[in-house]
Amino acid sequence: MRTQSKETQSKLTPDLALQILKDGNQRFVNNLKANRNLLQQVNETSTGQFPFATILSCIDSRTSAELIFDQGLGDVFSIRIAGNVLNEDILGSMEFATKLVGTKVIMVLGHTKCGAIVGACNHVEMGNLTTLLNKVQPAIYAEKETKENRTGANAAFVKNVTDLNVHLTIERIRRESPIIAELEKEGQIKIVGAMYDVENGNVNFF
């Protein structure tokens, strides 16, 4: 598998970039890794990087974007934070990745059985974690389907909140970053949501 270069990056459309991620996840699920020399990629990326995707995912140890999408060095910007929530620093990182470096896709990747989402559903408060989990509250409020047992013990409720958290994060990216919104409007990038299943390795693209 070749290392991304300025030339290969520039030739990619947002749709092609997204397809690379989809194909990579299929390889991962089927345990068919692309043949790549990581040490060679160290050398080939030593003078610059030209990734094609920016992925916001959770810090969960099971959700490494490079692994579940079968990507190598220099392929993706990986932003990781508990609950794949959004803040100014992450938005700034996304603007850097897209406007300045040229990635074609922004993906917000949630995952099943997310401890941060469960904690938010249980209204956990602990030190600085309190502020982080509060960022999930809009998704909890937006979940109108569940009338009883709106806690982390209700798997259906947690799933709904997890999905909504991804969708609301995408809405915030568009609303709070005019730079990214303009790139999307011009067709230079695509913003997508997805959900990783920790039980089987599949990524469901919204």
Check residue 19 and give its pLDDT. 98
Q: Is 123 annotated as a binding residue?
A: no
Q: Is 163 annotated as a binding residue?
A: no
Is 63 a member of any domain?
yes
Check residue 175 and give its pLDDT. 98
Check residue 96 and give its pLDDT. 98
Tally of domains within the chain: 1
Q: Give phi and psi for 12, each to the nearest 5.
A: -80, 135
What is the extent of the structural domain holding 56? 6-205
Check residue 2 and give its pLDDT. 85
CATH number of domain containing 130: 3.40.1050.10
Of the candidates 75, 109, 89, 100, the residue with the CA atom closest to the CA atom of residue 1: 75
State mean pLDDT over 88-95.
Answer: 98
Check residue 52 and give its pLDDT. 97
Q: Is 111 annotated as a binding residue?
A: yes
Helix (H) or strand (E) holding 90: helix 88-95
Helix (H) or strand (E) holding 142: helix 137-142
State mean pLDDT over 48-71.
Answer: 97
C-alpha angle 65-70-74 in degrees, rounded to nearest 5: 75
Return all residues near 138 (Cβ < 8 A) that are at least 6 apart: 168
For 166-204, write each residue's pLDDT tens digit. Answer: 999 999 999 999 999 999 999 999 999 999 999 999 999
CA dihedral 5, 96, 34, 58 (to 10 degrees): 170
Q: Give phi and psi for 88, each to the nearest 5.
A: -60, -40
In this predicted structure, the answer to whether residue 80 has a pLDDT above a threshold of 90 is: yes
Is 48 a member of any domain?
yes
Q: Are strands 105-111 and 76-80 parallel, antiparallel or unpaired?
A: unpaired
Its pTM surpasses 0.75: yes
Average pLDDT over the chain, rounded to whole? 97
Exposed/middle/buried for 66, CB within 10 Å: 0-12, 13-18, 19+?
A: middle
Is 50 a member of any domain?
yes
In this predicted structure, the answer to whether residue 122 has a pLDDT above a threshold of 90 is: yes
Is 195 a member of any domain?
yes
Give 1's pLDDT tier (boundaries 50, 70, 90): confident
Structure tokens at 3: 């290392």
Is 1 a member of any domain?
no
Q: Is 121 annotated as a binding residue?
A: no
